[in-house]
Amino acid sequence: MKTNYPGPGFGVRCALFMSALSALAILPAILPASRASSAMDAQERGGRTKTTPTPTPKPATPRQSEANPRRPKPSRPTGPHAEIMPPSGGAWIRLIWVPPGTFTMGSDTGEPAEKPAHRVTISEGFYIGHYEVTQAEWQAVMGNNPSNFKDCGGNCPVEQVSWDDAQKFIQRLNQTNDGYVYRLPTEAEWEYACRAGTTGDYAGNLSEMAWYADNSGNRTNPVGQKRPNAFGLYDMHGDVWEWCEDWYHETYAGAPTDGSAWLSGGKHEYRVLRGGSWGRNAALLRSALRSWGPQNHSSNHLGLRVVAVLRTQ
């Protein structure tokens, strides 16, 4: 019978192979001690000794968690938006940078409360909510959900929120000391952000931009489903009314022209509301339209949007 004999040297090769396997098996125990052991290994293999500097190990990056949430580094904005983490770590509030500028606030052809139309200069830009504050964001910060319409996975705007409730939410955000100061928009900031450079009644085609009486299905709808305005902001018209910082005044006579909150004169117990809601007709969603409510009043038409500015101290 012919035998397929492997030929001369086979046993030697097997021995070398088994020796290599044995070396690999003990390698993990040898390697960590020092670079001297690496040089010795090279000599044992008959190779040329080469000393390689030991690299300085990089510190491990901690994993993001609720105890250590990722936060933006406070700085002048360099991009179109910033993402801010509420203190619970459970949701993000996305904020859009609105640049400074000058615009005409109010309308001389609208309601008496919208007159006189006047020029306002926003000298400092600010961040404002990409969307109205959602139920999920409110839940993450406050630990509850006061809303009436809760069947949209937390993506509908929070409602049944009074001005006083909004202040408690903002206080929680400010307790994070993350480099930003959170607040409600001033009425001037709100209209400037809503108009986004436009001068007409709306910032675009209303049916494409807003949930209101004609298309809402008699309820709130998830944020961000309609078209944004030119600043990239969603639902400035419709879905829920949005609280502003200002006291309500029956006209703009004597109103600030620098974009600040109007907190003198007027009706101290009433705060400004803007934007209209899911149950209102088109006339009440105009960019210049003003409404008001007692600061302790809540309903399923009332929500909020937050502003953030860099903390200076």
Confidence band for 90, pLDDT divided at 50, 70 and 90? low
φ and ψ at 157, to 5 degrees? -65, 145
Quote the CA–CA distance of 278 and 219 in Å, as a whole number: 6
In this prediction, residue 92 carries a pLDDT of 77
With contact defined as beta carbons under 8 Å apart, do 269 and 261 qualify?
no
pLDDT reading at 167 higher than 60: yes
pLDDT the model gives residue 52 = 42
Asked if pLDDT for residue 2 goes beyond 70, the answer is: no
Binning the chain into helix, strand and coil, the percentages to the nearest 5 are: 25, 20, 60
Helix axes 135-142, 163-174, angle to 10 degrees: 60
Q: Which residues contact 179 (CB under 8 A, 6 or more apart)?
A: 71, 72, 73, 74, 310, 311
> Could you report the per-residue pLDDT of 191-229, keeping only the tens digit for each?
999 999 999 999 999 999 999 999 999 999 999 999 999
State how far the Cα of 81 lies from the Cα of 192, in Å rounded to an integer. 17
So what's the pLDDT on residue 203? Answer: 98
pLDDT band at 105 (very low <50, low <70, confident <90, very high): very high
Across 115-131, b (16+ Cβ under 10 Å) vs e yields beeeebebeeebbbbbb
Top pLDDT among 58 and 304 is at: 304
| DSSP code at position 278 | T
Where residue 177 falls among pLDDT bands split at 50, 70, 90?
confident
pTM given for the model: 0.75
What gap in Å lies between CA 116 and CA 98, rounded to an integer? 25
Q: Which residue has the higher pLDDT, 311 or 118?
A: 118
pLDDT > 50? residue 312: yes
Could you tell me the two tokens for 251?
A: 């006209």
Higher-scoring residue by pLDDT: 2, 280: 280
Q: Pick from 105, 110, 93, 104: which is nearest to 223 by CA?
A: 93
**Is-contact 135 147, C-beta < 8 A?**
yes
Helix (H) or strand (E) holding 83: strand 81-84
